[in-house]
Homo-oligomer: A and B are copies of this chain.
Amino acid sequence: MLSALTVTDIAPPPVIVLVRPQLGENIGKAARAMLNFGLTEMRLVKPRDGWPNPSAGPAAAGADIVLEQAKVFDTTAEAVADCAHVYATTVRRRNDTKPVVTPEEAAGQIHTSPGRSALLFGPERSGLDIQDVSLARTILTVPINPEFGSLNLAQAVILCTYEWSKGRALAQPTTTEQFPPAPQEELEGLIAHLEGMLEPKGYFFPEGRAEATRRTLRNVITNAGWNHLEVRTMRGVLTTIMRGGPKA
């Protein structure tokens, strides 16, 4: 059970999630970038060439502990299931309704918000896809030369981990007692609950629009930033709705 977090709680270090990384070498470089700034928890979503990958070790330049402890997941949603705050790193700002922050702003939030944070990084060539982004409440964008934006995966990771490390020294615990946003798995439960209710009603019809409609719904729910109690309340609301009539 979650309990109220108080001023004395320190936010745990963020998890670095590499989504469908292509090259083992880049996984190794990301591990090196992490450990340089004191982060050790790496998660991999469907690495293209499987895991472990023999190219990762040499590129990690000694950051073996990060690679050894890396966990592999089938989906991005599973990789962030226990995280209260999910950041999707993208190079350019997308036209959507999520707030966009810099690495520095994200670091400040991570240090002062209770609950675990995850930073999502997409595949080298394409970046995060729209489904991955829809898991996040916040977009993280490195402010870059508008005429030459060419950050590779490890560079994006190092700028974010560097800012987190910098912010650690500056972090001030918040003085208000508050609950963290619900873990992602509770959010997933709520979304599934809602979709299960909407599906038979034809909400996702026509078929060609179904995916976009689901994404929109997910974004709305995700952006709410509900905590455990709020999610539980909403689950109760849905359950109540489905009962179909006043209690006897």
Contacts and interface: CB of A to CB of B under 8 A. Distances in A.
Interface of A: 32-33, 35-38, 61-63, 102, 104, 142-145, 148-152, 154-155, 158-159, 162, 165-166
Contacts of A104: 166
Residue of A62, A102, A151 with most chain B CB atoms under a 10 A cut-off? A151
Copies of this subunit:
2
A27 to B, nearest CB: 16
Contacts of A142: 162
The secondary-structure label for the interface of chain A is: loop
A203 B145 CA distance: 51
6 cross-chain pairs, A with B, having the tightest CB-CB distances, nearest first? A35-B148, A38-B145, A61-B150, A36-B144, A155-B158, A36-B145
Given A104-B166, A150-B63, A166-B104, A37 B145 contact: yes
B143 A62 contact: no
